[in-house]
Amino acid sequence: MKTGPIFIFIAVALTVGGFAGGFQFARQKTDGATTVAVPQEEFLRGAVNPDKGQKPKLLYYRNPMGLPDTSPTPKKDPMGMDYIAVYEGEADSDGGLKISAEKIQKMGVKAEPAKLQVLDKSVRASGRVEIDESRSYTVTAKFEGYIERLHVNTTGQPVGRGQPLFEVYSPELVSAQREYAIAAQGVGKLNEAGGEAQSAMKQLADSSLQRLRNWDISDEQIKTLAQSGNAKRTLTFRAPVAGIVTEKKAVQGMRFMPGEVLYQIADTSSVWVQADVFEQDIAAVNVGQKAKIRINAYPGEVFEGRIAYVYPTLKAETRTVPVRIELANPKGRLKPAMFAEVEIPVAGATPVVTVPNSAVIDSGSKQVVIVQLAEGRFEPRVVKLGARGSEFVQLLEGVKEREMVVSSANFLIDAESNLKAALGGMQAAKPAVVGHKAVGVLNAVDAASGTVTISHEPVASLKWPSMKMDFVLANPSLVAGFKPGAMVEFEFVERGPGEWVVTSVVAK
């Protein structure tokens, strides 16, 4: 029996069929009219590159359902689907945000490198102009008397040093003057007598003189009294310093008692600015530092002062520490109680990574910097900020030195990035609003949980192979009348990540 040719034909057919079966899951690439078929296992292992005949570099495997889950080795998801391999070039093709050169030029995008430098920052605080307490003087009498006449009779009136303020009459003062005048004349008459009489008269004169000086009677008035020998009825009080009258309690004709305050005079040629520095900034403030003062009354003008004292107490209500700043006020332009804006320059100690203040996009909950990966490619990064300077801000995390950051038009790039992310999210969520159709066998119905188990055929719209999986029923009535084992045609959508909901079921 001649069976040789038949057996040869069968062997050849089986061989061809075996190769065909081995290539049924192969990855294909079409170049013109030529199709190159590669076994899937070899392609996943990186054995062949269909384009160049070289091995592509396998980066990782991603979730087949589009979930944010990757794996360095091949694996299956809970539904039995193989993770999809991602090769070098494929991952980078969608990395970051791509913007054309023309669009970059229209936006006015400007990028500069993150710098390692000493951060010069400024401590800012609000303050107020106050009178220098060391230049404030009180005018009072050390004896009882009456005000006969006022020469300065209004609050706020400027006075010069030695200018008459008021005249007083005091019986005690008149008696002390007469006593001194008699003692001074007696010393002159007893110069030739010598002995105990002269010594006693001299002690009386010195005692009377010291009493007048203790009452703040000027040497000029005492000299006049000694020369004339006549006690004056009134005594003139003069301003001890040049300044302005900040308080006047003296009234013409009033009686005053020893120690009673009659005038308050302040020298305003130098003033204080009391600044309230926040608790977190007080460590950078020290005595001797210079400060810049800006006053609302003089816009554009900067006054310079020096920190004279940092108070040892904290105001619990405002969480601030008072800081005293001294500055000259030769023309008296700075008035007490004026509002002041204080800026204290503070130099950093060590170099830190910094970017321009304009490069940071602060949404309140997070801070973002746009990094230029390459020409036309940008990536938003969440960063952690440190100390702020006048022009730069310190970055603790997120950006390294010399990385290019966008300092101009970054808001436009961020908006475009958010738009791309939103569109990408809409595309990823497309199965949740667009129904997919499949045919399968209804294996089981769980009425309690509202789910069904279906062994379905391949789903072309999702590139799913045949598998058995669980679905959630949009309404339990969809499977009313169906029994396990029934062949059905159904539609389903993705309501959430990995949650597939059946919306329609009909008998096949």
- Please give the structure tokens belonging to residue 72: 């360095």
Per-residue pLDDT, 174: 83
Residue 41 has what pLDDT? 40
Instruction: Please measure the distance between the N-terminal and C-terminal CA atoms of the chain and give it in whole angstroms.
Output: 50
Sorting pLDDT into bands at 50, 70 and 90, what band is 423?
very low
- Is the model's pLDDT at 227 over the cut of 90? no
The least confident of 49-58, 111-120, 228-237 is 49-58
Determine the pLDDT at residue 127: 94
User: pLDDT higher for 272 or 493?
Assistant: 272
Q: In this predicted structure, which of 167-176, 187-196, 402-411 has the lowest mean pLDDT?
A: 187-196
CATH class name, domain 109-119+349-428: mainly beta
Give the mean pLDDT of 432-459.
85
The pLDDT of residue 3 is: 45
Q: What is the mean pLDDT of residues 447-471?
A: 89
> Could you tell me which residues come within 8 angstroms of residue 475 by beta carbon, excluding any fewer than 6 positions away?
none
Given this model, what pLDDT does residue 64 score?
66
Is residue 380 helix, strand or coil?
A: strand
Of 8-12, 261-265, 330-334, the range with the highest mean pLDDT is 261-265
> Does 445 or 38 have the greater pLDDT score?
445
In the prediction, which pLDDT does 111 show? Answer: 87
In sequence order, what are the residues at sequence separation of 6 or more whose Cβ sits closer than 8 angstroms to the Cβ of residue 327? Answer: 270, 271, 273, 293, 303, 304, 305, 306, 334
Burial grade of 74 (CB within 10 A; 0-12, 13-18, 19 or more): middle
Q: For residue 126, which of 308, 306, 321, 270 has the smallest C-alpha distance? A: 321
E strands present in 32-114: 34-38, 58-62, 70-71, 84-87, 97-98, 110-113
Q: Which one has a higher pLDDT value, 421 or 306? A: 306
**Looking at domain 136-264, does it have CATH number 2.40.50.100?**
yes
Instruction: Taking residues 264-273, report their average pLDDT.
Output: 93
pLDDT given for residue 199 in this prediction: 73
The tens digit of pLDDT for each residue in 285-310 reads 999 999 999 999 999 899 999 999 99
Q: What percent of the chain has pLDDT over 70?
A: 77
Per domain, the residue ranges of the chain are 32-94, 109-119+349-428, 136-264, 270-348, 430-507
pLDDT recorded at residue 68: 54
Confidence band for 94, pLDDT divided at 50, 70 and 90: very low
Q: pLDDT band for 273, please (50, 70, 90 cuts).
A: very high
Tell me the pLDDT band of 493, cut-offs 50, 70 and 90. Answer: confident
| Nearest one of 77, 175, 149, 123 to 292, comparing CA atoms | 123
pLDDT at 91 over 80: no
Which pLDDT value is given to residue 65? 59
Q: What is the CATH number of domain 270-348?
A: 2.40.30.170
Q: Is the pLDDT of residue 67 over 60?
A: no
Q: Which of 178-182, 360-364, 420-424, 468-472 has the highest mean pLDDT?
A: 468-472
In this predicted structure, the answer to whether residue 21 has a pLDDT above a threshold of 60 is: no
Has residue 394 got a pLDDT over 50?
yes
Looking at residue 265, what is its pLDDT?
Answer: 94
What per-residue confidence (pLDDT) applies to 74? 84
User: Residue 271: pLDDT band by 50, 70, 90 thresholds?
Assistant: very high
User: pLDDT: is 14 or 161 the higher one?
Assistant: 161
Nearest-5° Cα angle at 314, 312 to 316: 160
- The yes-or-no verdict on residue 6 having pLDDT over 60 is no
**Orientation angle between helical segments 195-214 and 219-228, nearest 10 degrees:** 140
Which range of 35-44, 56-65, 92-101, 273-282 scores highest in mean pLDDT? It is 273-282
* Mean per-residue pLDDT, 6-20: 38
Q: What is the pTM assigned to this prediction?
A: 0.50
Rank 107-111, 222-226, 286-290, 387-391 by mean pLDDT and report only the highest. Answer: 286-290
Span 430-507: which CATH code? 2.40.50.320
Average pLDDT, the chain: 78
Statement: residue 371 has pLDDT above 80: yes
Give the model's confidence band at 257: pLDDT under 50 very low, under 70 low, under 90 confident, else very high.
Answer: very high
Confidence (pLDDT) at 35: 33
Which region among 205-214, 283-292, 458-467 has the lowest average model confidence (pLDDT)?
205-214
Distance CA(57)–CA(62), nearest Å, equals: 15
Checking if the pLDDT of 32 tops 70, the result is no
Compute the average pLDDT of residues 216-228.
73
pLDDT at 315 > cutoff 60: yes
> What confidence tens digit (pLDDT) does each residue in 125-137 have?
999 999 999 999 9
Per-residue DSSP letter, 55: P
User: Which phi and psi (to 5°) does residue 278 adopt?
Assistant: -65, 155
Same fold, 136-264 and 270-348: no
